[in-house]
Amino acid sequence: MKSSPSVVRPALAVIASLMLASGAFAQQKPTPPAPQAAPTIKLTPEQQRQLEARRKARVYAKDLEGLWINSRYVAALEASRMPMQAAKKAAPVAVNVSKEGPSYPMLRTNFDKASLLRIIDIQPEKEQGSFRVVLTEDDRGAVSAEEVKYVSFRGRKNDAGRFETLMIAEPLFGKKQFQDFKRAEQGIGPLVNGIVIAGRYTDEKAAQYEFTKEGEARLPGDTFPYEVRLTTLGATCDMIESPDDGSGKERKRVGFAWKSGKLELYSVDVSKPTMFRCSPKPIAVLTPAG
């Protein structure tokens, strides 16, 4: 259907007049004055101190980023050097906050079970230096009050604006009791390896053994990556085991126990996958070198 000339011409005329008007306006528009510099506001030392204090007092998810572990468990691990015994004295709790795109997932675990939720807010509480983390399963949309969980914590930033220690009342594995947590900068593996087993040793026949802090076991005739088993489920003894690479291959496992300052190694019976057992007698008794 063709448009009527009586409609087309006025419309074109209006557009043309607007274009001409805008052009004329652009030609007649006066040159704007040069922008003036904003006035400098000089703060007194006290105002600067208060401003810096307020800046440090604010807490964001990125301030919690990192791996945290409860100090009570670390102390028990240092005392016994045996994870299963340490877990009986002080239940382990580890918290990992990482950045994933725009989100900050928070993983909490006791090494037997784990909970993964996402941070949507950090709210100050009444007591100075006290906060609570607001968590939900899905942070991509509106969240109702029934869908959130809370984890309370206390802490103060250092002069660099960083938390080095926290007191966390973890509700799932820590029974909502405030505990001291420290950063595990190097990761759980190197931290635990360094406490429990890392070092050089010799056996009764002067054979050399070494377990590195980074996770490599060097035994006579065999070398493999290892990690200290931290779960208390499915085994009757402490052990090191090769990491699960997802291939389905049988993992290498060596049991261990500290007795009278010496490290005893055991073979591991894996015939029952639901319960690993160490041999009744050690296969080697190691003396720390040096």
Same domain, 179 and 226: no
DSSP H helices, the chain, are 5-28, 45-57, 71-80, 83-89, 188-196
Domain containing 250: what range?
197-288
Residues 177 and 87 in one domain: yes
Residue 113: which CATH number?
A: 2.40.128.50
**Is residue 205 located within the same domain as residue 178?**
no
Within a domain: residue 143? Answer: yes
Query: Does residue 16 fall inside a structural domain?
Result: no
pLDDT at 58: 87
* 48 within domain boundaries: no
Residue 29 has pLDDT above 70, yes or no: no
Q: CA-to-CA distance for 202 and 204, rounded, in angstroms?
A: 7
Per-residue pLDDT, 47: 63
What pLDDT, on the 0 to 100 scale, is given for residue 132?
Answer: 97
Instruction: Establish if 1 belongs to a structural domain.
Output: no
Pairing of strands 94-97, 66-70: antiparallel
Domain edge (last residue) among 134, 150, 185: 185
Q: Is the pLDDT of residue 7 over 60?
A: no
Looking at the fold, whether 89 and 139 belong to one and the same domain comes out as yes
Shared domain check, 202 and 99? no
Give the pLDDT of residue 253.
97
Looking at residues 3-25, what average pLDDT do you find?
37
Instruction: Give the per-residue pLDDT at 36.
Output: 66
Mean pLDDT on 126-148: 92
The pLDDT score that the predictor gives to residue 68 is 98
Examine the pLDDT at 2 and tell me if it is beyond 70. Answer: no
Using the 3D structure, point to which of 185, 206, 240 is the last residue of a domain. Answer: 185
Same domain, 246 and 275: yes
Based on the domain organization, do 240 and 170 belong to the same domain? no
What integer is the mean pLDDT of 30-34? 63
Average pLDDT of the residues of the chain: 87
Q: What is the pLDDT of residues 82-96, one digit of tens each?
A: 999 999 999 999 999
One domain for residues 92 and 71: yes
The average pLDDT across 99-116 equals 97
pLDDT over 60 at 28, yes or no:
no
CB 101 within 8 A of CB 107: no
- Domain end point (choices 185, 219, 235): 185
More confident residue, 277 or 51: 277
Residue 93 lies in a domain: yes
Q: Do residues 105 and 207 share a domain?
A: no
Residue 20 domain flag: no
Mean pLDDT of 183-197: 96
> Residue range 251-269: average pLDDT?
97
Within-domain flag for 279:
yes
Tell whether 209 is covered by a domain: yes
Residues 6+ apart with CB under 8 A from 241: 226, 227, 229, 251, 252, 253, 254
Domain count, the chain: 2
